[in-house]
Structures are given as C-alpha cells and as structure tokens.
Chains A and B, each alone.
Chain A
Amino acid sequence: MTRVKKKSFLIATILTPLIFPALIAVVVYFGSRESGGPENVYVLDQSGFYDEQFTDESYNYTYLTGSLEDAKQQFQDEGAYGLLYIPEINFEDPSKTYYDEFEFYSKSNAGVNIESSFERQLRRVLEQVKLDRSGLDPDMINSLKANVDLNTFNLSDTGEVKESNSGLNLIVGYIFGFMIYMFIFIYGGQIMQSVLDEKTSRIVEVIVSSVRPFQLMMGKVLGIGSVGVTQLLIWVALVTSLTTVGFTFFGPPEAAAMAGSQMPAEAVELTATQESIANIQGMIDSVPVTQIVVSFIFYFLGAYFLYGAMYAAIGSAVDSLQDAQQFMFPIMIPLIVSIVALSIVIQNPDSQLSFWLSMVPFTSPVVMMGRIPFGVPMWELLLSMVLLVLGFIGMIWVAGRIYRVGILMYGVKVNWKTLKVWFTTKV
C-alpha cells in the first residue's frame, strides 16, 4: 500500500515506458537532423561520370571544377558540410573491382551513415558505367539474381502438416521466458525488502496481533504481485501506444527516404522484405497464440508465487539486507540456470535437458515458455503445470512456517540450520 503511494513508484510507472519511445524519438530526431538538414556538400568530380548524379535529398550538392587544392580552399572559406573528391577513374581494366580513390572531407567526423550513403551512391554510378561498358543487358542481370525463403513445416504423428517458423518461435519463447525471469527478479526483491522493512521497523508485531502471520505474508506476496502486474500492463500499454504514435510521426518518412535512396541497387532485397512482411500473418498463425498466452499467465503466476514465497521467507528470517545475501544465492541459482538454459532450450526444444528443466518447478516456468512456441505434448505441459502448482503450494507452506517465527526473531544468527529449526517449531 505504501509502495503504491510512493512518488518514486508513480514516476517509475509512468517514466519507464516513456524512456523507450523517448529514446527512439531522440534517435530519430537527431538522425533526421543529421540527414535531413539541407547541408551543403561540394562535389569535385574529375572523372566526368558523376555530374548531377547525386540525388540524395539530404544535401545540397554543388559541383565544383578545378584542382583539389582550390576546392579545399573554397570548402574552408564557405563553410560547407563536406567536400567529396572524385578523381579520374580508370575503367579500362574490367577486372578492377576495388576502388579506393574517393575522398571525403568534412569539418567534423563523418558518421557511418553518411559514409555508407556516399559509398552507395558512388558504387551505383560505378556499377552503371561498368554495366554499360560490358554491353550486357541490365534486365538479364536482374533476372540472374535469386532470393530464397525456405518454408519449414512440422509433420505431426497423425500426418498433419503445420507450417513452422523457428525464427519467430525462438523470439517469442525467449521474450516470454525472459519476462518471467525479470519479473521474479524485480518483484521478488521487493517482497523481500518489504518484509524486511516491516520487521526492522518493528511494526510487524502490531500487525500480527491483528492478522495471522500467514495472511500477512500472502497479502504481501499478492499485493506486490498485483502492483507488479498492473505496472507491467501499464508499461505494455504505454510502450505499444507510444511506439505506434512515434512510428506514425517519425517512422514512415524516414523509411521512405531510406527506401528511395536504396531503390535501384537493392530493389530485389526490398521486394524480399515485402514478401516476408506478407508472410508474417502466416507465421503468427503457425504459433499457438492462445496456448502461449494461457500458459504464460499460468507459469508467470506460478513462478511468482513459488519464488515470492521464498523471498518472503528470507526477508522474515534476516535482520538486514547484508544477511540476506547468503540466502539470495541459492534462490538465484535456479533462476540463472533457467535463463541460461533458455537459450539452449530454444535451440533444441525437445532434448532431454529441455524436458527435465521444464518439469522441475524451479526452472519450469522460464524453460517451458521457451518450449511452448515450438509445440509441447499436452501431457508434458499438464505434468509440468501440476508439478509447478504442487511446488508453489509446498513452498508457500514451508515459507509460511519460517515466516511466522522469523518475523519475531531479532539478533539471531540465521543459517540453514536455524531455518530448519524454525520450520519444525510449533508456534
């Protein structure tokens, strides 16, 4: 309750999602200023192939004549953004494919973007000239290019064919697994902190004279959990809407400009992109969305209760955060194991390792989320869920027994043995 009213909480809730789009906005803003400002660029073309060939609208091109020294002088005097020097080019040798004679001068360091933009334009003209000289038909060249997209399918035992997409499965699995992991880390820590605060401020004895310790502990876990879920939902909503808004304003012109400058050379690749966009609908259909969402909610809550109870027990047992360290480590190990294993599991979702890790309650939430997008046999899923439920009920029971003793114990040197004694103590 106090937690929600803290200013820092409100700020975090509102700002965290803002940070993401804000970052995008900043990048886009500076990016557009960099490329969008009509800066003057001088072009000194001694080859004669580049006259009026620069079409990029980001710059005002002024074509100079004369020596490089004069051009440099003029560039200095008039304060243009940059000077592009194109020397004589030897096209006589058809085997020459590497050109490093071009030079670009600017006051500040030219960014990678600018560099590659010029390189692209220089290359385009070079290729055009070489193509013309070779006497080959440009259409012929284009028709020689090929673009491959391998369609992958799952062939089930019953002979049912389902389109699969391991790339998307990988991402979906990883994102959901990682979300569970992060949520436990952040909010589990908060549970512990909150229990510890109540204990060290000694308010707890007043509270437990009104409610049962178990009720207090569960209230804490549920309360922080619902705060966390709300916070998460707000983030998701804000990020989605803000990014959408952000892209509506900044995205399309940028993309269009980029597409415009790339069009001739990379037309084929672009078409490929469009094709794959068209494929996304089909890919999403291939992922078991309902199953993922339902099991995500289930594993998310299960994992939270399991670890939340452990964090609460630790918070009740110790007198300070320092003391908590020795118990934090064993909690974090299964979590870290599962997040490390997640990246292995999504490569190989049906291995022995994947199976067992997705059964053990401590690792199953994260690992199973990595497996589900690839399709998991129903019995495995159900078994894992049942084990998780048993796991968190058992853990809450154990934690509750430690908690009710721990919160009233001060100045006791706590180790695993003490916890065991508390667990068995009759209160």
Chain B
Amino acid sequence: MNILEAHNVTKNYAAHRALDDVSIEIPKQSIFGLLGPNGAGKTTLIRIINQIIMSDAGNITINGEKLEPKHIQVIGYLPEERGLYKKMKVGEQLMYLAQLKGLSNAEARKRIKHWLDRMGLSEWAGKKVEDLSKGMAQKIQFIATVLHEPELLILDEPFSGFDPVNANLIKDEIFELRDKGATVIFSTHRMESVEQLCDDIVLINKSKKILDGTKSEIKKSFKSGKYNVTYKGAMAGLSTNFDLVETKEIEDGMSESLIQAQGDHNPNDLIKELISRVEVHSFVEVIPSINDIFIQIVEGGES
C-alpha cells in the first residue's frame, strides 16, 4: 500500500522546468529518501505535495485519494529553512501551529507538554524563541512538525543545525515515529544519513527522476562484481574469469588485492580459485555506498 503516489508531475517556472515528468511511489510506514543535488527540484516537489504550489501537470494521491486541502492535516512539514516567530513564547507558538493543523486546544496542550518533556525543554515553554539556542529552536520546530501526529512526515534536511548528540536524538525519534505507523519523506543531499535511515530512495537530478527503488536493490544493481581480499602468499595465475585490478603490500607479510569478476561469476567461484593459491584472511564484496552511487550518477549526468 502506498501512502503517496505522484504520477508524471511537471512544474514549470518562468524560465525553467523545475520538475519534468516525475513519478514516485512511497510505501506506507517507510522512510523514503528524496535525494538530489541542490537545485534538482526536491523542494519544488515537496511544496507541491504540501499544496503550497500547484503542479502544471500530473496528479498526486494520498492513500489513494486525490490530493486535497483536507490532506494538510495528514502531513507534517519541516522546511529546510527553519523559522519561528521570534517574539512569541515557545508554548504559545506550538499551540498556534497545532491549532492551524486543526488540533483542539486541550489536545494540543497535552501533546505539547508531552513533547517538551520528552525533548527536555519543559522549562523553556514560557520563554521567547529568540532566547533559545539554535539547537533548541530546531527541536521546537521538530515538535511543531510532529505535534498533530501526521501520517506523512516531510523532513527537508532535518539534521542541519544539530550537533551529533541531538542529531541522534532526532534520528531515534524518526525511527520511533516510523514504528508507530508514520511514513517519512526525507529530503537531503547528505548521503551518510540516507545510508542509516532510508528504506527506499528516489534520486532527482536536473528536474528528472534518475533512479528509484529500495536501498538494497539499488545498491545491488550498482555493485560491479569487485572483491577485496587480504591474504598471505603470492597471487598468481588467476583464471580469465577474474582480473587482478590492483595489489598492495600491507603489514605482516600480508597483501590486499582488488579483484574484478568477469561475467556472472559469483563469489564462491572466486573463493575456490583463491583457496588453492593463497591463505585468505578476509574476503569482502565491494558494495558501493549511496554516496558513491550519487556521485557516479550526478557526475555521469554532467558529462
């Protein structure tokens, strides 16, 4: 079941095309990575989903229904550019934003207390936002995003501005929200967080969708049959099924080699060949990181 489906979404601005025929499907209760370099069209897509702007063509469904104004209550949005009313008190501000999302006063009050306690910010409820540190303000903004318990959480670069401790705290919250049933769209160009968080990803570059699928599928499709082996002994006389790409000496008389498999030869074939020749200490299949894939695709697109 997909919580959100976008079909052939296109958006033109005066001078350029921001989104070109982009389709995505986001499975329920997943963490979905929306990746792409700056200016690729991520924010445009997010704004269309949030109904801040309208697409020129294509359609979007939420839980199978056409996207409508009522769906704003289903969505929680944390924009990349954060901001709160500086002169307003933390508690009042959260109350205001919660009520904008249609929460009742009593319910909002209860949840605000719960979240402030959870984030360790209870004693700041009566303070003005301008008196808070940047990290605290970010946490307040995160609370504002999740207060109405949205089914679909859209986080645009959620970790920017957080120190590692707080970034972890937010990460844990994201996982917990997912486990409770929320779906998270996670827009970023920082790949290490994608590696940790995302189940599915879509890559957008230059207004077009380049790639989508589950993280593991994509990695599988991008692995190139390379293996990293450390061993004792002399590597010589590999069959034509395998190429020795490079070899370097490491300490204690050990060597490390990068070996490229040809055709559809699997790791076992390589191990069989190796065992008869050298003393194998480690054997690792080289799997590209999302970062590598990202760079490979984006740079490939440039050339």
Interface residues of chain A, those whose CB is within 8 Å of chain B, are 1-2, 5-6, 197-198, 200-213, 408, 410, 421, 425-427
Contact = CB atoms under 8 A, between A and B. Distances in A.
B87 A408 contact: no
Interface string B40-81: 000000010011111010000000000001001001011101
B83 A204 contact: yes
18 contacts: A1-B96, A2-B87, A5-B92, A198-B85, A200-B83, A201-B84, A201-B85, A202-B81, A202-B82, A203-B84, A205-B77, A205-B79, A206-B79, A206-B145, A210-B101, A212-B69, A408-B53, A425-B14
A210 B87 contact: no
Given A408-B52, A421-B14, A2 B88 contact: yes
B271 interface: no
Contact of A206 (B51, B54, B83): B83
A208 B82 CA distance: 13
Given A1-B96, A2-B85, A210-B101, A205 B52 contact: yes
Given A210-B72, A210-B100, A205 B13 contact: no
B288 to A, nearest CB: 34
A201 B86 contact: yes
B81 A426 contact: no
Contacts of B141: 206
B204 interface: no
Contacts of A207: 97, 100
A425 B15 CA distance: 11
B93 to A, nearest CB: 9
B144 interface: yes
Contacts of A203: 83-85
**Which of A206, A208, A426 has the most CB atoms of chain B within a 10 A radius of its CB?**
A206
Nearest to B102: A210
A209 B54 contact: no
B46 to A, nearest CB: 9
Contact of B83 (A2, A201, A212, A426): A201
Interface in B131-150: 141, 144-145
B144 A206 contact: yes
Nearest to B145: A206
A211 B100 contact: yes
A427 B83 contact: no
Nearest to B154: A209
Nearest to B53: A427
B79 A202 contact: yes
Contacts of B84: 201, 203
**Which of B52, B85, B92 has the most CB atoms of chain A within a 10 A radius of its CB?**
B52
**Which of A207, A209, A408 has the most CB atoms of chain B within a 10 A radius of its CB?**
A209
B135 to A, nearest CB: 17
Given A208-B52, A209-B75, A210-B97, 8 more contacts: A2-B87, A5-B88, A6-B87, A205-B83, A210-B100, A210-B101, A425-B14, A427-B53
A114 to B, nearest CB: 52
Interface in B96-144: 96-97, 100-101, 141, 144
A212 B14 CA distance: 22
B85 A427 contact: no
B90 to A, nearest CB: 13
Nearest to B80: A205
Contacts of A210: 72, 97, 100-101
B42 to A, nearest CB: 14
A206 B77 contact: yes
Contacts of A202: 79, 81-83
B100 A426 contact: no
A9 B86 CA distance: 16
Contacts of A427: 53-54
A1 B78 CA distance: 22
A213 to B, nearest CB: 8
Given A2-B87, A2-B88, A421-B14, A205 B54 contact: no
A80 to B, nearest CB: 59
A208 B92 CA distance: 19
A106 B222 CA distance: 104
Contacts of B50: 208-209
A197 B88 CA distance: 12
A212 B92 CA distance: 22
Contacts of A2: 85, 87-88
A207 B144 CA distance: 11
Given A203-B83, A203-B84, A209 B53 contact: no
Nearest to A199: B83
Contacts of B92: 5
Contacts of B96: 1
Contacts of A209: 50-52, 72, 75, 77, 79
Contacts of B47: 408
A300 to B, nearest CB: 29
A400 to B, nearest CB: 14
**Which of A202, A205, A408, A425 has the most CB atoms of chain B within a 10 A radius of its CB?**
A205
A211 B53 CA distance: 12
Nearest to B97: A206
Nearest to B87: A2
